[in-house]
Structures are given as C-alpha cells and as structure tokens.
Amino acid sequence: MFRFVLSFLGAIFSWVVTAAAFFILTVGGVLWIYSQDLPSHEQLAQYTPKTISRIYSGEGKMMDEFAEERRIFVPVDEIPDIVKQAFISAEDQNFYHHQGFDPMGIAAALRDAALGGRLRGASTIPQQVAKNFLLSGDRTAERKIKELILSTRLVQALPRDRILELYLNEIYLGQNSYGVAAAALTYFNKSLDDLALNEAAMLAAMPREPGRSHPVRDHDKVLFRRNEVLREMQENGYLQDAAYRSEIEQPMRTVQGGDYPNFRSTLPPRDYFTDEIRRQLSREFGEEEFFGGGLSIRATVDADLQVIAARALQRALEKYDRSRGIWTGTRRTIPAESLTAEADWRQALRAADVPRDIQGWHPAVVLSLGENDARIGIEGVPEDEDGHWIPAKDVQWARKRLPDGRLGRQARVASDLVEVGDVVLVRQMTSDSDGSFIRWTLRQVPEIQGGFMAMDVNTGRVLAMQGGFSYQSSVFNRATQAQRQPGSSFKPFVYAAALDNGYSPATIVVDEPITLNTPQGLWAPKNSSGKFYGPTPLRTGIEQSRNLMTIRIAQDIGMNTVAKYAEDFGAYDHLGNFLANSLGAQETTLMKMVAAYAMFANGGERVEPTLVDRVQDQRGRTIYRHDRRECRTCGQPAWPVGAGPVISTNRERVMDAITAYQITSMMEGVVRRGSGRGVNLPVPVAGKTGTTNDAKDVWFIGYTSNIVAGCYLGYDQPRTLGRGAFGGTLCVPVFQEFMEEAVREYGGTPFKVPPGGHFVNIDRFTGQRLGPNAKGDNVIAEYFRDGAQGKDFIDGGWDRVDPDTLPLYSRGDGGGQAVTTSTGQKKVIPKKADFGTLSSGGLY
C-alpha cells in the first residue's frame, strides 16, 4: 500500500514536472517567436512627442496655438509629485519595483474582478508606454504578448522616471488632450503646479475610458473614479487620512461644468495675422513640424496697431456698404419652436454660425415684431423688463434683398427687413457726448471686402494685417491671397525705371492721345478725367496720375525695363511686357505691393516682409531668425551721448538711393496736391492711390520714414464699386486712421536725402528751372544728380527742346496749346500724325 501511494505520488509529480516543463518551454517558445520582429525600444530614448505650437506677441502674450493633438510637453522633474503619485496609484502602484509587468497586480485585478470589487488596471505603465509608442491598439493576445516583452526591455533600457515622463506626456485624457499638462488646461484652465489634489486625481481617473468620461455628461462616474484614485493614494501612503477625507468631500469643478473659464476664451480670437503665420510656417517647415513640433513663435505684430487696423478697415467697408442701402442680413434663422423659452433661444443662438470677432457686435435673434419695431434677444446680454428693441428709424436706410435677387421697397418699419426667427447682428448706439446708451442698431457683414497691411520699412516686420471684415465670416486673406489689379499704384515703378534711365523729375512728357495696335485691336487709353494736358513735367504726371504720360514713358524706356524693375522689387514674379501693365493691369497682392513700396521709403534696399521675428523648437533652440543685420557697436560698453547702435544692413540694393528719394519726393506731392490729399499727418508722408477700370479695385499705399501701409477694397467677385469710388475716397481714410495712431507710437522724420545730388527750384507746371530765391505755390525744390544732364523733353517722337527754353504753357481744359518759351517766343510744337486727334480745340 505504501509503495502504491509513493508510486502514485511519483506519477503525479512526474506529470506536474513534465507539464511545468512543457508550459515553460511553450511560453519560452512563444516569447522567442514574438520577440523576433518587435520594433526597437531604443528609439524611445530620443523620442520627442508631438506638442502644441504657440504664437506669442512681442510682449510675450500668447496669441494662438495650433496642434493636431493638444499636447504640452513637460519634463518629468517639472511635473508635481501629486500628479505622479495619482497616476501611479491609479495605474501601476508597483511601478518602481516590478520588472515591466506586475504579476501581483494582475492577480489582484483578477481577484477584485471576481469578487465584484473595485476595478483596477492590469497593464503597468511600461506596458502602456510600449503599447502607445511601439504597438497598435488591437485587443489581441499577440499584441499583449509583444507588450509584455517590450515592457521588460524598456525597464532595462530606460530609467523609470524617463518611462514615467513618456507616459504622462503621451497619455490620452479626453477632449483632444494628450498628456497631463494639456489636460490640466482643458479641464481646469490651470497649470500642473496649480492643481489641487482632487483635480490631479480626476486626471488620473481619465485614462480608463477617456472618450466616455465627460465631467458633465458622465459626472457621477468620473466623480466615483476620482474618489477611488484618492483612496488608492491613501492606501499607498501618498495621502494622510485627514487629507483624503477632505479631498473626497470636494465637489468636482471643471471648465466643462462652467466653474472655470475655457482656456481658449483667454486667448484672442484667431485672426488673419496668426492664420497667415500658420500658412507660411506650414509651408516653410512642413505641416507635421508646425502642428506637432512644439514651436515657440514670436510674431512681429503690434497688438495695439492690429486693433486699429481692423477697426479702420471695418469702418470703411461698413460705411460703403451702408451707402448702398441694401440689407442682406446673416441668412441664418432659428425655428419658431425654439423661441418660446429664453433658455431655448439662447442655446439655439449660441449654435448659430455667425461671426463673433467684431468688436462691439453681438449676435441676436428676432423674437417678435410689433407694429413698427422688432424685439430681439441678444447673446450675452441679460433680458430686462422692457426687452430689447430695434426701432423703425434704425431700418429706414435700407431695402431688403429678396430671394430672387431683386430689391424690395425702402424699409419704413422693422418688419420690412427682418422676420421672427432671423439671426441678426447688433451693436449699441451711444451718445458721442457722454457715452450713454441710445438704442440697439442693426449691423451686417458687408459684401464688399478688402485688406490692410502695415510694416516697418527697414526690417520688413509686419506690424498689422487685416485680411477682410471678419475672419470668422471669411478666412480668405485679401492682404496676402487676393490677386488684384493695383491700377495706378503701380505707376511709381514705371517712374523709378525712367529716373534710372535718363529722366529727371522735371523732364517734360507730352500728355496727349495715343492709339496703339494690340492683339485685341486698337487701344486708345485715356486719362481718368478724359482730358489731355499737353507738355507736362514728370512730377505732375505722377502727382495727377496721368495715364497717357505713363504709357509714353513705358514706351520710351521699354516695357521689358519696367517689368524688370517690378520683378526686382518683388511686386511680381513675372510681369508681362504689355503697355497696359504700366497702368497696373496685371494682378498682384497687397503684401507684395506694400513690401515693394518699403524699398522706396528705405532708400532702395531690399526687405522681405515677415510676420515672424523668431522661431524656437520645443527645447528652446532658435531655428529661424528674420533680422540678420549685423550690429557693429553692440559690444561697446557705452555709446556717445545721442548716438545709437551702428547696424550694417548687408542687404541687396534694388535701386539707386537718389532715385528712391526722387520717387519719394514726387509721391509726397501726390499727398499734398494729388489724389492722396486726404492724408494729413504731422510727419512727412508719401504715397500713391490706385483705381482700376470701372472702379473694380481701389488702392492706397503710403509711407513715412519708418512705416509703410497699404489698403485695398473691392468685391471678391470683381464688379464696379460705382461712381465716386476711388482710392482717394475709400482707402485714404483707412490709411489716415491707422497712421494717426502709428505716428503717435513710432513718430517719423523727414525722408533722408542721399549724397550725390543737389536741389534746383523748378516750376512744377512747366519744368522750368528757377532761381534759388524763387517762391510760390508752383515752386518745387527738385533733387538732381550731380553732373547728370538728363532728358528734358520726351514725347515718343517730338523734337527735343533746348533746356534753356523749356516750354511754359497756360493750363487749359484739354488739348494742345500754344506755348511761350522762357525767351518770350511764341511756339507751336509739331504733332506726330499717328497720335490721334485731340478731344478739344487747340492751335494744333
């Protein structure tokens, strides 16, 4: 019997040993098989997670952020202990002791699940790192085996704190938040250092079901899990009993529950400036690096001037729109069933897709119509006893655009423009004297659009940019993306080319009809006035924007020369060699034109416009810097009194400095006597208007000694702006409003006169050289190159006139005139027969 028992026990032992050996060999074989094609864990030593790229103003204020996955990388030694302890307690309480996987943790999880107790994760933090970084998320036995193998390798290859750093910066915690720092902002609008214990515990409760753990919709479930994490922290010795009892009694306060402001709400609304930075840097660095590289971007924007630029452009666009007297509204409505209760219409109004980035404007909904007035409910404005109303007199400026495109009758009462349920935009009308409230008034986003941009003429730093009336209404940037005809604002390039090719500001050019053969037939261009003015100095040609003089100049020097100048200035990548292009017929962008004008202002040196001063990667290394000028004296311990740093520009010279000054002087005349007369600043200013055929586009670009700014207005689908629409009437007021503030902030000086020339008094009507003591409204001190004779009379084929007998002529209403030379002789200048006939009488 005893031998039988021993034999039986021996057999059992043999079977157990054999089974154990078989199991070990099987497990070993499986592990060996799956370990052969695993991804390398060594790459995690150099792993840099995708993080948010942020844009800051020059003062260091955050303006915007961009990311595909909202993540902020934080080194492990900067993560507070309570956050680490909360996640270790919730996910892997033996993290610092096991070898990659935790048999005791797995056994405890199985026991608790079997007994119906608390659920706890069976995967360790190294396993989760292996899964998140190196494997797919498939729920298969194969993936689990690979995860176990990799986790053991990870703990052998990396310090535990490095593994924890990877985990806490990578883990998905819901609401598009990856990593604990981003989640802290998302749920509490706090940095990690400011989190309370219960808030850290709530974050640690999120990884189990991040997509189904909304703190409002799933409040009770999230609260239960938070308290479970706090209990785990107590059991693991991270919390004292008193602290644990205090923390579980705390209510769950979150951004989603309205207890804290949304982090995004603390940022300015996204605008054209930051979106253009996104567009340019995505192109420069690639979208993957921009959206995931954790870039720190220092923008060139002047925040105060950006506000002024937006307001000035919006005022001009709205003023034109209201002058047309057509009501278009928002074309958004709210169903009648949502208007009965205040909570319902407020919720529906919040969901309405209307712009909310226009200062002082509020979305509203028409709740009811009276005999004359309309009652409205306004987003963000509490209801009062009397309600809010749009009175009849506020609508009588407009006619409603009907569904078939026709215009309705002139509005007399509110119901002529709006209906119950219409979503509208309103703002407060206030008294100019004391700012007291008068009434709510209807507003609308204009159909006309435009762009504005201002930059430093010496560095190319863009100080302000507005690409339309409202970014939320239309993200298309008219300052950088819209290709439009610049019209007469192109003419300075023609005149610059002429000055570098033998002309002077006093050169006489005949303003007379011309007919040209083109592939499309005969072309007979005209001046905007429809008149012709005879022999005229170059200066007057640009001051009065004479089309025929410009064409004759371009014909004389050659359109290939003009095109080269325009391309060298960066106004065009390629300008066609057609005479019509001398009048600005080929399309370009406002940004290119403004940058080109900066080269007139700075004396002819190339500048590249930039919206970004500097870009740093997530470890603080500068990977881009715009200003590469060399400071020669910045190393000195002190500068002489009144002296500043000596900076070497080391920039390419695009044009001769004397030519740049001559063009600037001539464009000062545009502002004083020409189409830019609406500009009135306390510092010298030069500029040029532009108005295209049928007034489809209107422009003004102007500059002081340090700032250049440009404005463009027009419809996105080009059509005429109507009679009275000119660059001087629509764009000059925008420039004036902006530059008033810019000059207060940045000042301005007389334009620098370059060496190598001398001043001569000239009669601006005739080009006649006058004595040094000549005075009067017609006397201009022109700057001539030393030793250069220059052309005196250009007409495309007329006889040359001796410089001492340059023509004087009486100004008329068009046509040619008899002229009197400076010696008192009467003279009729012959005319080439193929120039066409004069539009009015004359002696020739």
Q: Mind telling me the catalytic residues?
A: 91, 488
pLDDT at 767: 85
pLDDT at 98: 83
pLDDT at 841: 22
Name the residue with tokens 């995505």: 282
- In the chain the first and final C-alpha atoms are separated, in Å, by 148
CA dist., res. 88 & res. 95, Å (int): 7
Residues facing 484 on adjacent strands: 588
pTM over 0.85: no
CA dist., res. 511 & res. 783, Å (int): 23
Q: Which amino acid is at 443?
A: R
Token duo for residue 163: 């593994």
Token duo for residue 490: 């192109």
CA dist., res. 614 & res. 296, Å (int): 8
Q: Which amino acid is at 755?
A: P
CA dist., res. 666 & res. 541, Å (int): 9
For the chain, 844 residues long, the average pLDDT of each consecutive 10-residue run is 63 63 50 48 66 89 87 89 94 84 63 55 75 59 63 78 89 90 94 94 91 91 95 93 93 92 81 96 92 93 96 97 94 93 92 94 95 94 88 94 86 94 95 87 96 96 97 96 96 96 92 85 88 93 95 94 96 94 96 98 95 90 83 74 72 92 97 94 97 94 98 96 92 98 96 94 88 89 80 43 35 37 40 28 21
Length reported for the chain: 844
pLDDT at 49: 74
Q: Which amino acid is at 17?
A: V
pLDDT at 373: 95
* Cα torsion angle, 620, 622, 626, 632, sign: positive
